[in-house]
Chain A
Amino acid sequence: MTKNINPFYNIIISPRIIIFFIFILFLCSIKAHNVYAHKVYIFAWAEGDTIYTESYSGDKRVSNGVIKVFTASGDFLLEGKTDTDGNFSFKIPQQTDLKIVLEAGMGHRAEYLFRSDDIREPVKEEATPETQDGLDTIKKHSTGVSTEELRKVMEEVLDDRLNPISKRLARIEDKKNNSLTDIIGGIGYILGIMGIVIYFRNRATPKQ
């Protein structure tokens, strides 16, 4: 008895069943647009001399997660735990690239590479003492505030304003492209592999 070479013979009576399965898959993928729901990730940004980190598992914060900080080459620097809001901050240990690692339990781990050029040293003007004194007194009398105090205030205000922007930037850098695309792409790859295997198998069997 010749084997029926229709590759779909063994799994369907009618195309309805295949359509049923693909429909179920599609329903699941539409609901599952938030691909990050299963991933843990950590963001970090600098304010002044402190690095702040936030740890997430999907949309939730990771509390009591272990944070380890390494140099870019892997030397261990320091360790800590996130609080209940998923935050952990530490003073910048050295002015190099840092690798910040989050271990959230149950086998989940995430890394963030913190670049040292994200930290900018406050610009120090070169000025001779006498002119600086003179300038300071003039400024003090006119505005009531010295250069140093002004600089401090500006840094604080800028940190305040830039904080949410740094956070969003860190998120964007980590996010890959649209996840529905990836889901459909993955299903496509599987069907493609299936097609290739069937093609080569049909070539191998002699046609009757």
Chain B
Amino acid sequence: MSGDGHDSSITRRDFLKRSAAVGVSIAAAGSAAYWLHNRVVSVEAQVTLPNFSIPALGPRMSITTGGDRAKTLRAGIDAIGGIESFVKSGDRVLLKVNAAFASPPLLGATTHPDVVAEMARLCSKAGAKEILVTDNPIYDPSSCFDISGIGDAARQAGAKVLLPKGGYFRTTTVEGARYLRDWPILHKPLDGVDKLIGISPIKHHQRAGASMSMKNWYGLLGGRRNKFHQDINGIITELAMMVRPTLVVLDGTAVMMSNGPTGGSLEDLKQADTMIVSTDQVAADAFGATLLGMTVAELPYIAGAAAAGPGTVDYETLNPKRISIN
């Protein structure tokens, strides 16, 4: 008994009751923390993206110069076999654009609406059953698709714009990847699609050095993806491992040479008037780097992607068709 007259001893029953109460509290707190931690909304079973490339066609590439995007795109695709080589009647086609910013087309920070419209028209001409357009910008998707002009251009060309929603994500694990393990991706637009075409501008990027075809797939990632900025070359390499597109279009009509990825001033842009179309996204980016005045060595993810999977840094081995449209 303590000096103030109180009995300070505790019975076994009291001890067990209190211990049980503490244990339940800890378990409840821990469960709540686990439930709240990095919650991903509406994530179902894992998916693996199919290979959308057409190996039978072999590697192909065209480099078309000219100031009219619709014309250079058409000529570029015709030069490597025409749209019918890539899109068959009845195909469902997804156009993955770069709609990362609510920025007007003039500023070159997003895929140009003229390219989206023309590609949608070409796919429609080839008999595509459905043409979808999507991206998962971090900023408000509706504003991004609206102000970039991509939304209107796609709809007017008969395509359907799919803005990301909570239920559109599924997790994926890329074999051999360090970062893309159990990671949510924007899967709904890809679900049941036969062909995947990436369309992106060529831009300087403050973090990555450049933003081109392979960086475009960043817009398929969900979750707190900005954490990958710590190893931007590593994540872009893994994106190239994750996505095997049918075709990539690199729009070098107005290249963002500095202050990327947002730009903002027309002085950031250089009129290079070049449209690249390729089945090989590594080769496309390797050539795109030259329009930025950069070398492949300055963009480690290009060599990384070549080492990790199909694709070559040496784009000349693809015997690219070079065309000029006046």
* A and B: bona fide binding partners: no
B→A interface (CB under 8 Å): none
